[in-house]
Structures are given as C-alpha cells and as structure tokens.
Amino acid sequence: MSNSLIAMEPKRFDAYEQAVRDSGGQLSALSPEVEALIWTDYSRPDLLRETLDGNPQLRWVQLPFAGVDAFVEVLDRDLVFTCAKASFSQPVAEHALALTLALSRKIPTRVRANAWGEKFAFSLFDSNVLIVGGGGIAQQLIDLLTPFGAHITVVRKHPTTMPGVERVVGMEQLDEALPTADVVILACSLTPETDRLFDRQRITRMKPSAYLVNIARGRHVVLPDLLKALDDGIIAGAALDVTEPEPLPEGHPAFGREDLIITPHTADTKAQVIELFSQRLRENVAAYLSGEPLVGTVSRELGY
C-alpha cells in the first residue's frame, strides 16, 4: 500500500497534515484514486455521508473523536472506520478527577464564601467509586485513583477483568451497584442503551451523600431531572463537563449553584486534541500503509 493516497476533509490543520507525511502517507485532494479519508469535522455527519456516497473506492475512514454517535448512520458501510478512542483519555481522566476533588471539598461553596463557614470534606481515600464505561478514559481514571486506595467498580457492556478494579459488572447490574457508590463517574460511549441513562429514577438509586460526575456525553444525564434531584437532596452534588443541550444558554438554572459544577466541555482543549489526534494519525497511517492492524477500530455492532 505504499502508493496509497489519503484525503483530509473538510477542515485542514498543519499538524494533521504533518502527521500524515511523517508516517509516509501521501496527501491528496479527494479523487477516485484516494482510498483513505481522514474526517476532521464532528459536526458534519451529513457531509460525510454525501462524501462516502460519491466515493465508493474508499477503504478506510478515520473519524475525529472518541465518540462516534454522530456518525451512526454511516457505520454500516463496507469499509473500515477508526475513531480516536483512547487518544484523549489522559486529559479527560484528569478533568474527571479534578471535578471529583472539587466536589468532595465543596470548592464551589468556598470560592463564593465571604465568611469562614462550616467545615466539610469527603475523602476519596477508601471510598467507593463507580465508573460507568470501561474504555481508555476509565482505565486512565483508575490509574489516577490508585493512590487514593479507592474501591473501584466498573460497569460496562461486556464485563472483563480490568487492572486496579475490585469488581467489573455488566450494564444490567448498574442499579444494583449504585446505592453503595460515593462517587459515580460517567465515562461511557453514547449508545441507545446509555442515552438518558441517568434520569430521576436512576439518580434516586444513589445515596444522599453521593456525587455524580459526567465527562462523557451530555445526553447521558437528563438535566432537568438532575436539577430536581439536587433541589430535593437526593444526591449531594454533581459536576458536568458535557450537557444537553450544549452549550447551555446564558441564565440557565444549572448555572450558579453551589451543588453543581459546570465546565464548558473543556476536559480536552483544542490544543490538546490537535496534539493527541496527530499522534493517532501517525499510528494509523503507518499501520495502514504497512498492512498492520489499525488502532481504535469502530465496532458496527457496539456502535463505538
């Protein structure tokens, strides 16, 4: 495949182009001779569909982010799709830990305080942490939590042993695992099974002292249900890096609460994404040209 041509559509970044060249790839405008496509715009699944319709010669498509929920309608085609799963795990896991620590020490309350106030702290040491999702972000987060001696349970679609985890269970056991968790962290892909996963009914299964952290997809959490649960004292607090809708409109009732931290989808920044996705391109372009297995292959059956 040494003479394979690779197109990059629709946004071009110098770092991505350099990554392709560093790996021996030849960049080209999209044409009937091009067999590999690097797709860089998550917001245009319609344009990707049109592009694939007009280019049946394509054999491999690299998608830009870990989640592929926007591209579900094109994944049934007879070609290989790869995504960026596990590429951005480190900064996203770091953000999840930061949000958890901020909640556990009531940082939103303290940064607003103009008086000494009451003492409060929840410690991650020896706590019960439930992670929903078993991919790269979850594994990075498990590594970060190891020094705290936390008791970690992972809920995932296909339960398999994971390093540093006391228990791995299937999605059907989520409700059973929730009542003992001190912190619940969502790090799963968005699929029909996880869409609106945490509505009021499921949040109510958490204990009143527990915290919910979402660094995955906004549609995992029904935001009005979460706000009502916080109002009613169902759980102690929450932190969201992603929301539905996104961005939240100015003046939304989710803003300004001491029991809810919202960050504007900044678990990974543009600079981080460019650097880490460039590395994924180097890996996959080199693998494609040499006929080796690609990294981050998307499963049509699983949807991620």
User: Which among 44, 151, 257, 265 is annotated as catalytic?
Assistant: 265
- Whether residue 106 is found in the same domain as residue 249: yes
Residue 74, domain member (yes or no): yes
Q: What is the mean pLDDT of residues 73-82?
A: 93
145-158 pLDDT, tens digit each: 999 999 999 999 99
CA–CA separation, 85 vs 280, rounded Å? 9
Residue 110, domain member (yes or no): yes
- Whether residue 281 is found in the same domain as residue 254: no
- Whether residue 158 is found in the same domain as residue 282: no
Active site residue 246: yes
**What total number of domains does the chain contain?**
2
Residue 177, domain member (yes or no): yes
* Domain limit, last residue, from 243, 262, 281: 262
Residue 175, domain member (yes or no): yes
- Whether residue 110 is found in the same domain as residue 217: yes
Q: Which tokens in the block code for residue 160?
A: 């398999």
Pick the closest to residue 183 from 220, 222, 235 (CA basis). Answer: 235
- Whether residue 83 is found in the same domain as residue 134: no
Residue 304, domain member (yes or no): no
Q: In the structure, what pLDDT confidence band is assigned to residue 231 with cuts at 50, 70 and 90?
A: very high
Residue 124, domain member (yes or no): yes
- Whether residue 66 is found in the same domain as residue 20: yes
Residue 299, domain member (yes or no): no
pLDDT at 21: 94
232-285 pLDDT, tens digit each: 999 999 999 999 999 999 999 999 999 999 999 999 988 999 999 999 999 999
Active site residue 265: yes
pLDDT at 260: 97
Is residue 49 predicted with pLDDT exceeding 90?
Answer: yes
User: Which among 95, 217, 280, 282 is annotated as catalytic?
Assistant: 217
For residue 99, how many other CB atoms are within 10 A of its CB?
26
- Whether residue 172 is found in the same domain as residue 36: no
Classify residue 18 by burial, with Cβ atoms within 10 Å: 0-12, 13-18, 19+.
middle
- Whether residue 161 is found in the same domain as residue 47: no
- Whether residue 148 is found in the same domain as residue 172: yes
User: Which among 50, 246, 292, 300 is annotated as catalytic?
Assistant: 246
pLDDT at 205: 98
Is residue 3 predicted with pLDDT exceeding 80?
Answer: no
Q: In the structure, what pLDDT confidence band is assigned to residue 37 with cuts at 50, 70 and 90?
A: very high
Active site residue 300: no
- Strand 60-62 versus strand 211-214 pairing type: unpaired
- Whether residue 121 is found in the same domain as residue 243: yes
Q: What is the mean pLDDT of residues 194-215?
A: 98
pLDDT at 2: 45
Pick the closest to residue 295 from 304, 283, 278, 282 (CA basis). Answer: 283
Residue 169, domain member (yes or no): yes
- Strands in 128-132's sheet, in edge-to-edge order, are 167-170, 151-156, 128-132, 183-186, 211-214, 237-240, 260-262
- Whether residue 17 is found in the same domain as residue 114: no
- Strands in 5-9's sheet, in edge-to-edge order, are 26-27, 5-9, 36-39, 60-62, 80-82
Q: What is the mean pLDDT of residues 54-75?
A: 93
Instruction: Give yes or no for a contact between 221 and 186, defined as CB atoms under 8 angstroms apart.
Output: yes
303 compared with 1, residue with greater pLDDT: 303
Reported pTM = 0.91
- Whether residue 42 is found in the same domain as residue 20: yes
pLDDT at 43: 86
Structural domain of 200: 89-262
Instruction: Give yes or no for a contact between 187 and 133, defined as CB atoms under 8 angstroms apart.
Output: yes
Q: In the structure, what pLDDT confidence band is assigned to residue 1 with cuts at 50, 70 and 90?
A: very low
pLDDT at 155: 98
Say what angle helices 136-145 and 89-104 make with each other, to 10 degrees: 50
Q: What is the CATH number of the domain that holds 158?
A: 3.40.50.720
Is residue 4 predicted with pLDDT exceeding 90?
Answer: no
